[in-house]
A and B are shown apart, each in its own frame.
Chain A
Amino acid sequence: MAESETRSETPSETRHGIGVSPGTAYGPVVQVAPPVRPPADETAVDDQEAALADVRAAFESVAVSLEERATRVDDTAQQILKATALIARDKGLVKAAAKELAAGHGRAHSIENAVETYAAQFEALGGYFAERVADLRDVGSRAVAAVLGVPAPGVPSFTEPSVIVAEDLAPAETATLDRRLVVGIITEAGGRTSHTAILAAQMGIPAVVQLAGATEIAPGTPVALDGDTGEVTIDPDMELVTAQRERAARRAEALSHLSGAGRTSDGAEIALLANIGGVEDAVAAGAQDLEGVGLFRTEFVYLSATKAPTVEEQTEIYRGVFAPFEGRRVVVRTLDAGADKPLKFADLGPEENPALGRRGLRLSAERPDLLDAQLEALAIAARETGADVRVMAPMVATAEEAAWFARRVRENGLPKAGVMIEVPGAALRAHDVLGEVDFGSLGTNDLAQYTMAADRMQGALSDLLDPWQPGVLDVVGLACEGAARAGRPIGVCGESAGDPLLALVLVGLGVSSLSMAPSKVPVVRLALSLHSVAECQDLAAAARGARTAIDALTAVREAARTELTDLL
């Protein structure tokens, strides 16, 4: 089909990202200038003293412009900008740049190398310290732009209400956006729990992340975005903008009447939980109307560290995560690293098939000392904060592994042990595997990867990874049957739990808790409130009765109540 034909019939183009901050927006695109890199062919300087003066002036101009911006924003943003200005004025940075100049590098490279020296130190420290690296690199990129005499990276100044589009936004960038002029945010990178997502939600700016090709949209092009569904329409006609706006208003109205615990229309309780990856996520999720955490990923505690974090260091982090959830449940997934996410202090060497290698619980089996330190820290933090902490292991395949893990959890004084069900072999034998522990949690992303033998990192295989694949739904169904026979509760903590239609199917299959991005909780709560358990079972049967993933989705969309589907 000729492209021009397609264009003339459908002048607008709709793409899908991930909606992370609810509401709709319509406006022209303002592209955020990407970070400025030193030119590859930069020559060494002749006059080192003059060059150092240029570098000093570049850093000073960055500090002055940050301080100038700080006078125009609110308190929180002001603190961030002032702290960033302090970095730009750092004597150490100029000294490090002077060394680079002396070593024969050009001005821009000297600035970048100096910044990277500190960035490497912060990253090695891990945790809170590593989070400052984005601000540091932002200073570096601005200084490089200043020394090269090119426009500064970041948000250009604009006067008309606009949609901000970027590869990703630095924390300082997001915090200092002018709420009156920024009607929406779109990023090409970022995730559900990225800084951009959290801050946009706090500021009430509709936002979509992970939109492919976002940075290639021409500045000035009008776009419409829906921060719930993740839908972005480029050059939309006004009818669509109006329809999208009305649908969002109806949805907000429908959601505003509901709160509290998740319940089907006939009163069955389905726990609505959050997926989180760190202390900031925990604080944000803790303030929301949800019943706790269904998946706390603990990788960040380890990934940037050069040596194994101590029990004390871990306890401090876990305390911060649990504190907002006193009296509520927090399900912790123990260290899920290995081949594809190697740890500097526990590298078992390269593997041919990382996804099938020594990762998850298999790594813990080789290094039980790491697992024990984590469990000890979790137990201390749980006692101190009064959160209902439950621990589960990733990548469990057999009943023996489940029993081994449960014993270690109990020896460390933690009351509840569970396992992730993400290996098809464990799903098929859920009765035996879950018989060894207190609960199970279906990781639908990995379960789909292993059931369909399709790499999650391989974008071209995304159709196979669709959680609506009947084969995947069958495996989930069998795991739920096994859990029921063993008398153990089973939940879902993958992306699929946050899809309102799929959530109904999962409940119909026998799932009793759903853990998702916090922003998805309200619409899933609404979906549940409109359907009885028997209706969910009918929807599950319709999905499993379909021949293809698309048929399964279509069948469920048609059979679900229109009060829900009209809002989607």
Chain B
Amino acid sequence: MATRTVTIASSVGLHARPAALFVEAASASGLDVEIAKPGEDPVDATSILGVMALGARHGEEVVLTAEGDGADETLDSLVELLSRDLDAE
């Protein structure tokens, strides 16, 4: 199982457009991807409601995990996505 920790760069936190882009990317990978706040229960990264309900704000860390072929590559691209201020683009 691959794991990454990343800090949310989006100025509005992980919601609205940033959350939608993240969920679309996670879904497109076809893998079981989960996202969690450190020490909390993970949620399905392909569920927009689950991801938004995390309430991850700007500057907070989240932990991503994935299983299966290409898990490392998938997580790397998701980490890259969350490290940008998606709302400003």
Contact = CB atoms under 8 A, between A and B. Distances in A.
Contacts, number: 51
Interface string A80-91: 001100110011
The interface centre, meaning the residue of B46, B48, B49, B52 with most chain A CB atoms within 10 A of its CB, is B49
Contacts of A83: 16-17, 20, 48
A300 interface: no
Contacts of A93: 49
A181 interface: no
A92 B15 contact: no
Interface residues of B, number: 22
Nearest to B19: A83
B16 to A, nearest CB: 7
Contacts of A136: 49
A316 B87 CA distance: 15
A125 B16 contact: no
B17 A125 contact: no
A132 interface: yes
Query: Helix, strand, loop or mixed for chain B's interface?
Result: mixed
Contacts of B49: 87, 90, 92-93, 118, 136
B23 interface: yes
Nearest to A316: B58
A92 B55 contact: no
B19 to A, nearest CB: 8
Nearest to B23: A86
A91 B53 contact: no
B73 interface: no
B12 interface: yes
A136 B48 CA distance: 11
Given A91-B46, A91-B47, A129 B52 contact: yes
A118 B55 CA distance: 12
B24 interface: yes
A373 to B, nearest CB: 17
Contacts of B15: 128-129, 132
B44 A86 contact: no
A347 B65 CA distance: 41
A82 B21 CA distance: 11
B37 interface: no
A313 interface: yes
A92 B12 contact: no
Contacts of A122: 52-53
B43 to A, nearest CB: 8
Nearest to B54: A125
Interface in B23-75: 23-24, 43-44, 46-50, 52-53, 55, 57-59
B16 A128 contact: yes
B44 A132 contact: no
A3 to B, nearest CB: 50
A118 B54 CA distance: 11
A86 B53 contact: no
Contact of B57 (A79, A87, A132, A313): A313
A121 interface: yes
B48 A90 contact: yes
A228 B18 CA distance: 37
A86 B55 contact: no
Given A86-B48, A90-B47, A91-B47, A118 B24 contact: no
A513 to B, nearest CB: 31
Nearest to B24: A86
Q: Most B CB atoms within 10 A — which of A83, A129, A132, A312?
A: A129
Interface in A13-67: none
B46 A118 contact: no
A118 B53 contact: yes
Nearest to A320: B11
A217 B18 CA distance: 41
Nearest to A79: B17
Given A122-B53, A313-B57, A128 B47 contact: no
Nearest to A93: B49
Contacts of B57: 313, 316
A132 B52 contact: yes
A456 to B, nearest CB: 33
Nearest to B58: A316
B11 to A, nearest CB: 8
Interface string A112-153: 000000100110010011001000100000000000000000
Nearest to A94: B47
Contacts of B52: 122, 129, 132
A453 to B, nearest CB: 43
Given A86-B24, A125-B55, A128-B12, A92 B17 contact: no
Nearest to B47: A92
Contacts of A82: 20
B20 A86 contact: yes
Interface of A: 79, 82-83, 86-87, 90-93, 118, 121-122, 125, 128-129, 132, 136, 312-313, 316, 320
